[in-house]
Amino acid sequence: MAVFTDVSEAEIASFLAGYGLPAPDAVTGIAEGTENTNYKVMAGGRRFILTLYEARVNVADLPYFLSLMDEVAGAGLPAARPIRTLKGERLQAIAGRPAALIEFLPGRPNMDPSPRDAETAGSFLARFHRTTAHSSLHRPNTMGMTSWREMTARAGDALDRFGEGVRTELAETLKLLARFWPVGLPKGPIHADLFPDNLLLDHGEVSGIIDFYFACTDFFAYDLAITMNAYTPETGALDLTNAEAVLSGYDETYKLTDAERSALPVLLCGSALRFFLTRATDNIFAPESTLYTPKDPLPWLRLMRHHRARLEDEL
Ligand SMILES: Nc1ncnc2c1ncn2[C@@H]1O[C@H](COP(=O)(O)OP(=O)(O)O)[C@@H](O)[C@H]1O
Ligand SMILES: N[C@@H](CCOP(=O)(O)O)C(=O)O
């Protein structure tokens, strides 16, 4: 569920007035998502997404995310644009939370993507990078290696609930990653969370890229590694067909350099560890009362093990 904060229609009406919009015709809470509260709002014959930023988003980062969405949309890619108020502001407050009104994009995510959809995602990610490579926006990756060490230390022995010796295995993997993590690869603003649920498709074509709230400056090839892993089915026998398809779609559109290609095994291993850790710590620390069900970390542990073995074979 992703309505963490309830908002009344009267509050929404007064919020919309700031945009010169009439009172809403309909407001629906959106179940999908894990970080923020989202409502679908119909007003004046148009559809919008009203996002209330919840505790895990750092308010100081919001101008970066909103500017990146604006820049990517301005370059002609289907990124959701933040709407400006009559005073030209993108960030407002509602029900005590920072909030933005976002353009509603058509299409639906495909949660069971075919290799063809994975190739489309890879090709789209390459176009995204070709656009953001020109951006001067900057935000450090707060979900990088330092945070992986911090999350591992904070979770401590509780990590072993995902398997005997997992805590030690992570510590060893972190050492390996630190030793072989690349330097000097092409970098710029990356999405950093391009999973199937964050790409809207309409008749097989990308109609929207959403959820920029992990975006940051990092290696483009790291973003590619995230999406290769994210398109790998989480259930059934390990099947890397979609990951290969993401890579081939990307490489056809934005030729990888030799250095980027040779760094992929370590980047794939790092990205698998990153999503294992965030899901594992969500499971460990989720308050009992929460209505939100944390995602399963185990598929990402399996991916991390696979990529680590491949990395070790290459050493
Ligand atoms: N601009 C948009 N246009 C259409 N639907 C959207 C848009 N933004 C979000 N959504 C819908 O809201 C859901 C949750 O949004 P998301 O940004 O992923 O939330 P969270 O930040 O909580 O993960 C998406 O799965 C999608 O259904
Ligand atoms: N994509 C991440 C979690 C972030 O969730 P999102 O709903 O904001 O994309 C994962 O699957 O672990």
What is the Å distance from ligand 2's center to 192 Cα?
10
Give the rounded percent of residues in the chain with a pLDDT score beyond 70.
98
Q: Which domain holds residue 211?
A: 110-314
Residues 58 and 182 grouped into a single domain: no
Residues 74 and 117 grouped into a single domain: no
Residue ranges with strand state E in 83-146 = 92-94, 97-103, 108-109
User: Which of 34, 43, 89 is closest to 62 using CA atoms?
Assistant: 89
Question: Is residue 248 assigned to a domain?
Answer: yes
Q: What rounded mean pLDDT belongs to the chain?
A: 95
Residues 138 and 272 grouped into a single domain: yes
Residues 141 and 262 grouped into a single domain: yes
Domain boundary among 49, 77, 104: 104
Looking at residue 2, what is its pLDDT?
Answer: 73
Over residues 151-174, the pLDDT tens digits come to: 999 999 999 999 999 999 999 999
Six-digit token pair at 35?
Answer: 């970080």
Residues 164 and 258 grouped into a single domain: yes
Pairwise CA distance, residues 69 & 105, whole Å:
13
Residues 184 and 43 grouped into a single domain: no
End-to-end CA distance of the chain: 43
Residues 162 and 233 grouped into a single domain: yes
Flag whether pLDDT at 40 surpasses 80: yes
Question: Is residue 2 assigned to a domain?
Answer: no
- DSSP-derived letter for residue 45 is T
Pairwise CA distance, residues 305 & 299, whole Å:
10
User: Which of 237, 253, 220 is closest to 299 using CA atoms?
Assistant: 237
What is the Å distance from ligand 2's center to 196 Cα?
10
Residues with CB under 6 A from ligand 2: 33-35, 193, 195, 197-198, 211, 275, 278-279, 295
Flag whether pLDDT at 246 surpasses 70: yes
Residues 47 and 74 grouped into a single domain: yes
CATH number of the domain enclosing 189: 3.90.1200.10
Contacts 24+ apart (CB under 8 A), 88-94: 90/63, 90/66, 91/62, 91/63, 91/66, 92/15, 92/18, 94/7, 94/11, 94/12, 94/15, 94/50, 94/52
Choose the residue to mutate in 30, 191, 193 for probing ligand 2, maximizing ligand atoms within 8 Å of C-beta.
193
Choose the residue to mutate in 28, 30, 193 for probing ligand 1, maximizing ligand atoms within 8 Å of C-beta.
30
CATH number of the domain enclosing 81: 3.30.200.20
Domain boundary among 58, 74, 104: 104
How do beta strands 205-209 and 46-52 pair?
Answer: unpaired
Looking at residue 290, what is its pLDDT?
Answer: 52
Question: Is residue 162 assigned to a domain?
Answer: yes
Looking at residue 299, what is its pLDDT?
Answer: 98
From the CA of 51, the nearest ligand is: 1
Residue nearest to atom 20 of ligand 1 (CA): 33
Q: Considering its fold, how many domains does the chain have in total?
A: 2
CB distance 122 to ligand 1 below 6 Å? no
**What is the number of alpha carbons within 13 Å of residue 117 lying toward its C-beta?**
21
From the CA of 73, the nearest ligand is: 1
Question: Is residue 276 assigned to a domain?
Answer: yes
Helices (H), 210-285: 220-230, 241-253, 258-285
Residue nearest to atom 7 of ligand 2 (CA): 33
Pairwise CA distance, residues 311 & 265, whole Å:
6
Question: Is residue 165 assigned to a domain?
Answer: yes
What is the Å distance from ligand 2's center to 271 Cα?
13
- CA distances 49 to 19, 40, 61, 202, Å, are 14, 5, 19, 18
Residues 221 and 273 grouped into a single domain: yes
Taking residues 167-193, report their average pLDDT. Answer: 98
Residue nearest to atom 25 of ligand 1 (CA): 32
What is the Å distance from ligand 1's center to 211 Cα?
6
Looking at residue 288, what is its pLDDT?
Answer: 61
From the CA of 31, the nearest ligand is: 1
Tokens 């959809």 found at = 117
CB distance 120 to ligand 1 below 6 Å? no
Residues 223 and 94 grouped into a single domain: no
Taking residues 288-298, report their average pLDDT. Answer: 75
Residues 79 and 141 grouped into a single domain: no
Flag whether pLDDT at 291 surpasses 60: no
Quick one: which atom of ligand 2 is closest to the CA of 34?
A: 7
Quick one: which atom of ligand 1 is closest to the CA of 35?
A: 22
Taking residues 80-98, report their average pLDDT. Answer: 96
Question: Is residue 157 assigned to a domain?
Answer: yes
Phi first, then psi, for residue 168 (nearest 5°) are: -65, -40
Domain boundary among 79, 104, 129: 104
Question: Is residue 45 assigned to a domain?
Answer: yes
Question: Is residue 283 assigned to a domain?
Answer: yes
CB distance 213 to ligand 1 below 6 Å? yes
Taking residues 286-291, report their average pLDDT. Answer: 60
Looking at residue 287, what is its pLDDT?
Answer: 66
Question: Amino acid identity, residue 116?
Answer: R
Residues 193 and 308 grouped into a single domain: yes
How do beta strands 205-209 and 216-219 pair?
Answer: unpaired
> By the 8 A CB rule, do 24 and 42 touch?
yes
* Sign (positive or negative) of CA dihedral 293, 279, 105, 290: positive
Six-digit token pair at 101?
Answer: 């009104």
Pairwise CA distance, residues 77 & 79, whole Å:
6
Pairwise CA distance, residues 171 & 52, whole Å:
36
Over residues 97-146, the pLDDT tens digits come to: 999 999 999 999 999 999 999 999 999 999 999 999 999 999 999 999 99
Looking at residue 33, what is its pLDDT?
Answer: 76
